């Protein structure tokens, strides 16, 4: 099977799974997780006791001699932007696992995209981790969902992690209108509170960290040769050495804790998933938390 046929088989598999998972119930939960993208101007009417003074239109009031306020309706159309890491490290899968981190992220993205489509929302895609970045402007419909999955799986594999500053700048440049942004990555890039803060200020940001279990704890596999999937650099190590395994685990944990500390400080609700994990319950919990928060 050549690469094109293999990718198309994976696209079809992920699409079928996403359609099955994106039920009306889940799509409703997804919808309830939006804060709402703002208000559109509707009309003018005379001021009534209890109206918000900040909505008084002083030009109309001066012209008519009677206080008038602007009325609005909630903007119904929402935008979901899927920002997906396709750097070299996302193509890793430990022995025995069917899906790479990229394929797992594509499944999450597909469920979110189909849920958005069921709600009549627009879906856009930004792929980062290789140059040039790929941007698919937000659009409605099932064909857009299919395109999203295909582009994630078909993106070039060569490339190193972008800095979070580069990723945030690209999202802010391409997606000027407020959107719900799901940032799917292994977050191996250096923690960057300032860039995440800028992104969260403009959009509803939901970081989703995707990890392979073998990345978190090295096995006692003896002498082994590692290859950096992004730089190609080779490193030989003896995994029977407990100090080596402990040093790796400590470094990984410190990096993960720092990212989580940034999310917590900024009040960002994030997800931390393993490629062996069913992500649907975690997504349901996320949207339930957000809907309760916005209902207050």
The confidence score (pLDDT) of residue 40 equals 56
Residue 33 has a pLDDT of 74
pLDDT of residue 139: 96
CA–CA separation, 1 vs 23, rounded Å? 33
Beta partners for residue 84, in sequence order: 127, 184
Q: What is the pTM of this model?
A: 0.80
CATH code for the structural domain at 3-34+77-294? 3.40.50.410
Taking the C-alpha atoms of residue 121 and residue 64, their distance in angstroms, rounded to an integer, is: 40
Nearest to 54 by CA among 42, 36, 67: 67
- Looking at residue 37, what is its pLDDT? 46
pLDDT at 182: 97
Domain ranges of the chain: 3-34+77-294, 39-74
DSSP string computed for 111-125: HHHHHHHHTT-EEEE
Torsions phi, psi for 112 (to 5 deg) = -65, -40
The one-digit pLDDT tens for each residue of the chain (296 residues) are 566 677 678 878 888 888 888 776 677 777 777 765 444 566 788 888 877 676 788 888 888 888 888 876 555 568 999 999 999 889 988 877 778 999 999 999 999 999 999 888 999 999 998 778 999 999 999 999 999 999 999 998 766 678 899 999 999 999 988 899 999 999 999 999 999 999 999 999 999 999 998 888 776 766 666 666 555 666 666 667 777 778 878 899 999 999 999 999 999 999 999 999 999 999 999 988 887 765 55
Q: What is the C-alpha to C-alpha distance for residues 17 and 110, in angstroms, rounded to an integer? A: 9
């Amino acid at each position: 099977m050549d690469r094109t046929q293999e990718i198309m088989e994976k696209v079809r598999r992920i699409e079928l799974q996403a359609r099955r998972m994106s039920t009306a119930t889940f799509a409703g939960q997804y919808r309830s997780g939006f804060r709402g993208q703002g208000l559109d101007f509707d009309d003018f009417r005379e001021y009534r006791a209890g109206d918000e003074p900040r909505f008084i239109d002083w030009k109309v009031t001066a012209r008519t001699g009677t206080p008038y306020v602007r009325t609005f309706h909630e903007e119904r159309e929402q935008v979901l932007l899927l920002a997906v890491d396709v750097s070299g490290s996302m193509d890793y899968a430990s022995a025995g696992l069917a899906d790479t981190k990229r394929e797992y992220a594509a499944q999450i993205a597909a469920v979110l995209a189909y849920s958005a489509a069921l709600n009549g929302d627009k879906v856009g895609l930004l792929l980062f981790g290789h140059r040039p970045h790929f941007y698919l402007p937000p659009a409605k419909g099932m064909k857009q969902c299919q395109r999203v999955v295909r582009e994630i799986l078909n993106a070039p594999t060569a490339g190193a992690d972008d800095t979070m500053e580069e990723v945030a700048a690209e999202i802010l440049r391409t997606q000027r209108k407020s959107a719900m942004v799901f940032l799917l990555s292994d977050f191996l890039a250096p923690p960057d509170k300032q860039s995440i803060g800028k992104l969260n200020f403009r959009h509803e940001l939901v970081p989703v960290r995707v990890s392979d279990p073998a990345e978190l704890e090295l096995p006692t596999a003896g002498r082994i040769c590692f290859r950096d999937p992004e730089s190609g650099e080779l490193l030989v190590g003896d995994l029977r050495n407990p100090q080596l395994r402990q040093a790796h685990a400590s470094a990984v944990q410190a990096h993960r804790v720092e990212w989580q500390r940034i999310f917590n400080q900024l009040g960002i609700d994030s997800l931390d998933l393993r490629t062996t994990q069913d992500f649907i319950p975690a997504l349901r919990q996320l949207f339930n938390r957000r809907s309760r928060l916005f209902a207050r």
